[in-house]
Amino acid sequence: MATTEKSGKTEQAARRAARSVPTASSERFELTWPYFMYTIVICFLLTTIVLWVWSMVAPAPLEPIADPNRTPNPSKAPWYFVGLQELLVYFDPWIAGVALPGLILGGLMAIPYIDKNTHGIGEYNYKDRKFAVWVFSLGTVFWFLLIIIGYFFRGPSWQWYWPWENWEIHKESHVVTHSWSLLGGSLFLIGYTAVGLIIPVLIPYLIGPRVKPASWIKKFCDALQEFYEKRGATIYTIEMLLLLTMLGIPVKMILRLYFNVKYILEIPAINLNI
Amino acid sequence: MARAAGALSAEEHATRRRLLSFLGWGSFVSFFSGVTIGSLRFFFPRILYEPSQQFIAGKPEDYQVGEVSTRMKKEQRVWMIRDQMGIYALISVCTHLGCTPIWHSTENRIKCPCHGSNFLVDGQNVAGPAPSPLFRAAISLDLAGNIVVDKSQKENQPGKRDEPPFILPLS
Amino acid sequence: MANLSLKNVPQAIVESQIWKSIFRHGYTMNRRNRLLAITNNVFYHILPTKISKYGVRMRFHWGAGIITFYLFLILTFTGVLLMFYYVPTVPRAYYDMKDLQHVVPFGNILRNMHRYGAHAMVFMVMVHMARTFYTSSYKPPREFNWVVGVILLNFTFLLSFSGYLLPWDQLAIWAVTVGTNMARATPLIGHEGPFANLIGMKVNNDIRFALLGGTTVGSATLLRFYVLHCIGFPIILTIFIVVHFWRVRRDGFSGDVPVRE
Ligand code: HEM
Ligand code: FES
């Protein structure tokens, strides 16, 4: 399962050789003029056609004039911010609106500096970078999932309406949310972080030596150990904290939607309500 | 070698040069930090052209006990609410992110269209993301017996919000 | 003068001194001229003269970066045209949009294209980011260009957000009310944010006040967003796009040189 650096490189080289177009020799290259120009012009033409037809058939929305005394019910942001709007339901504004977007943008910018894996440049390579591909895809899917929830599953008063439910029929709701105690909340958060951070490091040491060498558990332990050792303590911690933050969001969403939890941890004195 | 009188040693020279360099760069840096601060300050206007926060909301007799009146909401963004104690003006600005919530009489709740905050008639936040209760505006009677509401003065903490000037006591 | 027939006109034009002074190289089927067509043109010389057949396929690059850039050009063009009719004041903004919809010649399609183009650009910039992620294009030596890319992503959002207020309709005012109220929750510099009370932040001296030019979304806000949308953000975006393209050229297109061995 775990490919070593060297065999990975060799495999990659073999794959590249097998590809009909190897890297640097000049008959493998195409002149920009005119061949790449065709690509560009076709992209431009197709974009123009799509945009033009779209603009001809669908009038852009223009709602009634702005009125600060009346908010349309429901009031939805443009689609690319609906995910953010949905996040604002679960977290305080400074977390959902400032800290999390900051972490997303900062985390994106940090990707090249925390992903030290040099495999796969210039090719669609899943095999040698499973973790990276999984995390990125999970984040993207989750972001669009939030958008879909906000766009299709939220109705008047931002309540949950299934797409087949009529918004005209008013849905009554008498939900009352409550927060966890300071002790319970801090224990939960500390536990969550600790489990996420420490358990993956501990498993290979605790379980690894006790299982049969060829079993899948052993392979799993080895993979975890390699995962940690490749990264080193600092990058491992940064990566895991970012990952745990991302996975923590659906945890809070479930707690709110099914258990009416307002805050897991509530410290109003310093505005820290999670 | 003998030096001409008045000429500087290399060391002295260096000191003077360092001083001049310090002064040069110093004035450069301080000038441009001044410009930066000035440009930032530029974005904070000294004078605002915003509508007055005070308005007249009719007479106390216009409101029934137990009523959540929306007659001032269209123009002034407040509900006039009369209970056993008196009249208070609940500002209809969501304490979450500032949308205008809606009063639903069937559920006896105020709900916000933007992220679904729920409030009770007294302003208490009970569900959804709003971090604090709705605010009440200062309310009083003028000499002609009209209700005067002043939205620039507001309070949302239980206890304080139940005392004048945030409630107009009537028996 | 003898052979002044219509057939010879194109050739005469192409061989005239005027034409040749502008277009140095004709489209003759020869390799040298094709290389020169790229290097001698101010707009094309950002492109390499040759690209690997592997990387040039749509299947590799999805055309996403190209389309994003083209959408930015369309948005600039349609946006400048809209500016001829749109006045960013509270009494006029909304009715100017109505005019564009109903009375300005081709105003409606112009407005639709600007609006849908903005949505498409946001979408394509995400697609482009996904492509560069899946081909590992962010790895050395292209780390910095990925960072520039994230900055571009951010300014694409800001551009869309600032433009969203301009029609001054119900969608506009509430999106911007909610959006700017998040600014007031920023730690330290927003008056409702954590620790803001320690440095004396109030409703009329925090970051949101500067953004809105007041305490509520009003005429000052409309003007500020207009200036940012039409001048501030496009200029910043242009600067970063220039850097972005320059770095693609200098660091090499990842489809050209899959791995440095
Ligand atoms: C205004 C927005 C943007 C424009 C106009 C733009 C345009 C382009 C273009 C035309 C290319 C050439 C290759 C291609 O077309 O795929 C490119 C490459 C690249 N872009 Fe962008 N881009 C933008 C935003 C971004 C974003 C948001 C990211 C990532 C966070 C990004 C990361 C990159 C990287 C890493 C490359 C090098 C790709 C390679 O060498 O294969 N760009 N960009
Ligand atoms: S603004 Fe009212 S719930 Fe967010």
The pLDDT tens digits of the residues spanning B12-44 come to 667 888 899 999 999 999 999 999 999 999 999
Q: List the domain range (segments joined by +) for residue C127.
A: 59-251
Complete edge-to-edge strand list for the sheet that includes strand B102-104: B102-104, B109-111, B118-119, B125-127
C30 within a domain of the structure (yes/no): no
Question: Atom 2, ligand 1: which residue's CA is nearest?
Answer: C152
Q: Any idea which residue has 């400074």 for tokens?
A: A94
**pLDDT, one tens digit for every residue, chain A (274 residues):** 344 566 777 777 776 655 433 344 466 788 888 889 999 999 999 999 999 999 999 999 999 999 999 999 899 999 999 999 999 999 999 999 999 999 999 999 999 999 999 888 888 989 999 999 999 999 999 999 999 999 999 999 999 999 999 888 888 888 888 889 999 999 999 999 999 999 989 988 888 788 888 888 888 888 899 899 999 999 999 999 999 999 999 999 999 999 999 999 988 888 888 8
The pLDDT tens digits of the residues spanning B44-62 come to 999 998 888 899 998 988 8
Question: Atom 4, ligand 2: which residue's CA is nearest?
Answer: B115
Amino acid at C240: F
Are A147 and A80 spatial neighbours (Cβ–Cβ below 8 Å)?
Answer: yes
* Closest of A34, B49, B52, B6 to residue C44, by C-alpha: A34
Q: Does B116 touch chain A (CB under 8 A)?
A: yes
pLDDT, position C259 = 42
Q: Look up the CATH number of domain B54-169.
A: 2.102.10.10
Res. C10 pLDDT band, cuts 50 70 90: confident
- Quote the ipTM score: 0.90
Question: Looking at the DSSP assignment, which residues form a beta bridge with residue B141?
Answer: B147
pLDDT, position C261 = 37
pLDDT, position A23 = 40
Domain ranges of chain B: 7-48, 54-169
C67 within a domain of the structure (yes/no): yes
For the domain that residue C146 is a member of, what is the CATH number? 1.20.810.10
B:71-90 residues touching chain A, CB 8 A cutoff? 73-77
The pairing of strands B67-69 and B168-169 is unpaired
Q: Does domain A75-169 match CATH 1.10.10? A: no
Q: Phi/psi zone of residue A120: left (φ > 0), alpha (ψ -120 to 50 degrees), beta?
A: left
Domain ranges of chain A: 75-169, 179-274
Q: Does the beta carbon of B93 sit less than 6 angstroms from any atom of ligand 2?
A: no
Burial of B171 (C-beta count, 10 Å sphere; 0-12/13-18/19+): exposed
The pLDDT tens digits of the residues spanning B123-142 come to 999 999 998 999 999 999 99
Mutate to test the interface with B, among C178, C184, C224 (most CBs of B within 10 A): C178
pLDDT, position C4 = 65
pLDDT, position A3 = 46
Determine the distance in angstroms separating the CA of B118 from the nearest CA of chain A, rounded to an integer. Answer: 8
pLDDT, position C15 = 84
User: What is d(CA A62, CA C167) in angstroms, rounded to the nearest whole number?
Assistant: 8
Domain total in chain C: 1
Amino acid at C80: V
C150: pLDDT strictly greater than 90: yes
Q: Does B105 touch chain A (CB under 8 A)?
A: no
C162 within a domain of the structure (yes/no): yes
User: What is d(CA C226, CA C162) in angstroms, rounded to the nearest whole number?
Assistant: 7
